């Protein structure tokens, strides 16, 4: 049975070599592509370049060896010496990259950069020194009858003993150590890393021990022929299978980089969201301070107008009245002129009172929101000739002053918009006291308009923008329902905590 199995594998040696090389080349290609995107927060990620170099060069080397074996099977001439030298150079370079991969994963953070390549270079120099010593001791054609072919075989064997076995053992240990240090959310990748680690151990301790038979110890005892006798399969079948396992497990393990990228993206999005929320909170706080400062300035101006200019105009009107009485009946022209000045003064006092009311409604501070809105409705009837219907629902109560002021300004701006833009003869104001807030709605039967939120950015609907900002400042919402020819309804709701209402 072993003989039949050996003949079967011997006939399939070329496909075995092809799969062997394909496994390593696929591993190197996948790692090379992933290394451009991985985040270097893991030793495995930082060491991907040497691993990619190992896989790519090892795959090319195996395919070159496949061509040599194919020439032997079909009786073609052996390749020239430079071809064998090229193959050996690629073999040593791939094992040097494997050593660099393992050392870089284990390298402490305080070590200088590129230490792994220095160590790999020292190992390669040691291997070259061993090859030169071997060349001096066993010269081709001497009394020991060492041929050039056998010298190439010993050089191949020496590269596996000096470079491949240490590189595989170091890489296997590094992967095992990496698997044990994965965070809890990465534990599902631990199995793949441990399988890859064991695969490297087997690759080094078995796949690189059973080499071609040479005069070097222990290849004269443990070699590929012994493996064939024990298993009935060529030694190349083992590293070929191990190459496939390495390719599959390490490619799967590299999915943890995608997990890290998603986590980093989610963290970046969260930071952006937090920064946006912080900026929005800062903007609202600045708006609150601006509105508060604006209202305070309005209060001051209204007070000064009322106390200073109002008293002056009132005194002027009284003085003109006294002057008119003292002028007598003989000064009809003077009396008429004084009368006109009195009327002008009284009109100025009326306008001044209206200006003071617009700046800061006294009813809001002394009588509350309902009285202030009712006075606003009455004023709209007189100033604009609107037929305004006013309705209050819910249990009336005093609200926080800033909330009452916001509701009043929203009603004031809405009625101003109706008078200026709606072209409506009638309007309706609804003030509703609710358990958790207050609602103000102003509607009209005017021309309406086409409303889009993005028009705020183009400098349109500044009045509506002010209404929206005032409501949002206190955590409220604004609903604007309008269409051309269908009138407009502006409704704002502001939350009020029960303990803050009186």
Instruction: Give the tens place of pLDDT for each residue, 395-446.
Output: 888 888 888 888 888 888 888 888 888 788 888 999 999 888 899 999 988 8
Residue where one domain finishes, among candidates 197, 224, 253? 253
At 139-173, the pLDDT tens digits run 555 444 456 777 788 888 889 899 999 999 999 99
Q: What would the two tokens of residue 386 be? A: 């609107």
Quick one: pLDDT at residue 362? 67
What average pLDDT does the segment 247-253 reach? 83
Confidence of residue 379 (pLDDT cuts 50, 70, 90): confident
Q: DSSP character for 140? A: B
At 129-141, the pLDDT tens digits run 888 887 776 655 5
Burial class (CB in 10 A: 0-12, 13-18, 19+), 129: exposed
Domain that residue 14 falls in: 2-253
Q: How many domains, the chain?
A: 2
Closest C-alpha among 87, 42, 55 to residue 183:
42
Quick one: pLDDT at residue 77? 73
What average pLDDT does the segment 447-469 reach? 66
Quick one: pLDDT at residue 145? 45
CATH number where 418 lies:
3.30.565.10
What average pLDDT does the segment 300-320 reach? 62
Query: Crossing angle for the helix pair 255-304 and 332-359, nearest 10 degrees?
Result: 150
User: Do 249 and 368 sit in the same domain of this protein?
Assistant: no
Q: Highest mean pLDDT: which of 66-75, 89-98, 202-211?
A: 89-98
Q: DSSP character for 52? A: H
pLDDT over 50 (residue 329) = yes
Whats the size of the chain, residue-wise?
502
The DSSP code sequence of 206-233 is IITTSB---SSTTTTTSBHHHHHHHHSS
pLDDT over 50 (residue 1) = no
Residue where one domain finishes, among candidates 253, 280, 296? 253
Residue with tokens 């995608």: 258
User: Do 46 and 189 sit in the same domain of this protein?
Assistant: yes
Quick one: pLDDT at residue 169? 93
Positive or negative: CA dihedral 346, 408, 467, 487: negative
Confidence of residue 97 (pLDDT cuts 50, 70, 90): very high
Higher pLDDT, residue 187 or 424? 424
Residue with tokens 């061509």: 67
Percent of the chain with pLDDT over 70: 71
Enumerate residues 6+ apart whose C-beta is below 8 A from 484: 447, 448, 449, 450
Lowest mean pLDDT among 107-121, 229-243, 295-309: 295-309
The DSSP code sequence of 22-44 is HHHHHHHHHHHHHHTT--TTSHH
Quick one: pLDDT at residue 367? 79
Quick one: pLDDT at residue 439? 92
pLDDT over 80 (residue 346) = no
The predicted model scores a pTM of 0.57
Quick one: pLDDT at residue 92? 92
Higher pLDDT, residue 231 or 87? 87
Question: What backbone phi and psi angles, to 5 degrees, belong to 433?
Answer: -90, 120
The C-alpha R_g of the chain, in whole angstroms, comes to 46
pLDDT over 70 (residue 500) = no
pLDDT over 90 (residue 191) = no
User: Do 234 and 374 sit in the same domain of this protein?
Assistant: no
Higher pLDDT, residue 125 or 297? 125
User: Do 224 and 80 sit in the same domain of this protein?
Assistant: yes
Chain mean pLDDT for the chain: 78
Lowest mean pLDDT among 208-222, 347-361, 381-395: 347-361
What average pLDDT does the segment 382-396 reach? 86
Question: What backbone phi and psi angles, to 5 degrees, belong to 456?
Answer: -60, -40
User: Do 367 and 227 sit in the same domain of this protein?
Assistant: no
Burial class (CB in 10 A: 0-12, 13-18, 19+), 502: exposed
- Is residue 319, in this structure, part of any structural domain at all? no
- Is residue 74, in this structure, part of any structural domain at all? yes
What average pLDDT does the segment 183-208 reach? 81
- Is residue 356, in this structure, part of any structural domain at all? no
Burial class (CB in 10 A: 0-12, 13-18, 19+), 143: exposed
Q: What would the two tokens of residue 484 be? A: 């051309």
**Alpha carbon distances (Å) from 494 to 76, 417, 431, 437, 473:** 92, 21, 12, 5, 9
| CA atoms of 354 and 459, how far apart (whole Å) | 29
CATH number where 158 lies:
1.20.1070
- Is residue 332, in this structure, part of any structural domain at all? no
Residue where one domain finishes, among candidates 193, 218, 253? 253
Enumerate residues 6+ apart whose C-beta is below 8 A from 288: 473
- Is residue 497, in this structure, part of any structural domain at all? yes
3-state SS assignment for residue 324: helix
Quick one: pLDDT at residue 67? 83
- Is residue 485, in this structure, part of any structural domain at all? yes
Higher pLDDT, residue 377 or 78? 377
What average pLDDT does the segment 372-384 reach? 84
- Is residue 234, in this structure, part of any structural domain at all? yes
At 263-281, the pLDDT tens digits run 777 778 888 888 887 877 7
- Is residue 302, in this structure, part of any structural domain at all? no
Higher pLDDT, residue 478 or 456? 478
Lateral strand order in the sheet of 387-393? 387-393, 426-434, 437-444, 488-495, 477-482
């Amino acid at each position: 049975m072993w003989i039949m199995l050996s003949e079967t594998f011997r006939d399939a040696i070329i496909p075995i070599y092809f799969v062997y090389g394909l496994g390593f080349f696929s591993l190197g290609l996948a790692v090379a592509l992933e290394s451009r995107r991985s985040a270097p927060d893991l030793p495995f990620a930082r060491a991907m370049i040497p691993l990619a170099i190992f896989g790519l060069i090892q795959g090319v080397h195996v395919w070159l060896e496949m061509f040599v074996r194919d020439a032997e099977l079909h009786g073609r001439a052996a390749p020239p010496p430079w071809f064998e030298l090229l193959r050996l150079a690629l073999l040593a370079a791939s094992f040097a990259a494997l050593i660099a991969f393992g050392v870089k994963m284990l390298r402490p953070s305080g070590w200088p950069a590129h230490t792994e390549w220095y160590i790999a270079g020292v190992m390669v120099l040691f291997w070259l020194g061993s090859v030169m010593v071997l060349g001096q001791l066993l010269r081709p054609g001497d009394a020991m009858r060492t041929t050039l072919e056998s010298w190439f075989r010993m050089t191949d064997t020496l590269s596996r003993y000096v470079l491949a076995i240490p590189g595989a053992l170091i890489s296997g240990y590094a992967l095992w150590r990496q698997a044990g240090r994965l965070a809890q959310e990465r534990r599902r990748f631990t199995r793949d890393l441990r399988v890859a680690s064991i695969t490297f151990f087997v690759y080094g301790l078995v796949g690189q021990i059973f080499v071609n038979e040479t005069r070097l110890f222990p290849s004269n005892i443990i070699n590929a022929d012994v493996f064939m006798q024990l298993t009935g399969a060529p030694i190349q079948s083992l590293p070929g299978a191990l190459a496939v396992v390495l390719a599959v497990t390490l490619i799967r393990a590299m999915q943890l980089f995608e997990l890290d990228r998603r986590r980093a993206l989610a963290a970046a999005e969260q930071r952006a969201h937090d920064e946006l929320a912080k900026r929005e909170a800062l903007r609202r706080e600045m708006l609150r301070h601006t509105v508060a400062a604006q209202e305070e300035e309005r209060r001051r101006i209204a007070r000064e107008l009322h106390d200073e200019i109002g008293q002056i105009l009132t005194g002027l009107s009284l003085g003109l009245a006294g002057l008119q009485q003292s002028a007598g009946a003989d000064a009809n022209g003077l009396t008429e002129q004084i009368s006109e000045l009195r009327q002008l003064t009284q009109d100025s006092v009326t306008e001044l009172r209206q200006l003071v009311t617009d700046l800061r409604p006294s009813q809001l501070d002394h009588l509350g929101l309902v009285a202030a809105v009712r006075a606003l409705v009455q004023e709209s009837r007189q100033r604009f000739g609107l037929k305004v219907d006013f309705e209050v629902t819910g249990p009336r109560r005093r609200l926080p002053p800033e909330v009452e002021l916001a509701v009043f300004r929203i009603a004031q701006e809405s009625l101003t918009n109706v008078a200026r833009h709606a072209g409506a003869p009638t309007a309706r104001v609804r003030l509703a006291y609710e358990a958790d807030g207050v609602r103000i709605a102003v509607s009209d039967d005017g021309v309406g308009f086409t409303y889009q939120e993005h028009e705020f950015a183009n400098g349109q609907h500044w009045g509506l923008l002010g209404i929206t900002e005032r409501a949002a400042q206190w955590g409220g919402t604004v609903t604007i329902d309008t269409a051309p020819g269908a009138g407009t309804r502006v409704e704002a709701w502001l939350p009020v905590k029960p303990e803050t209402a009186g």
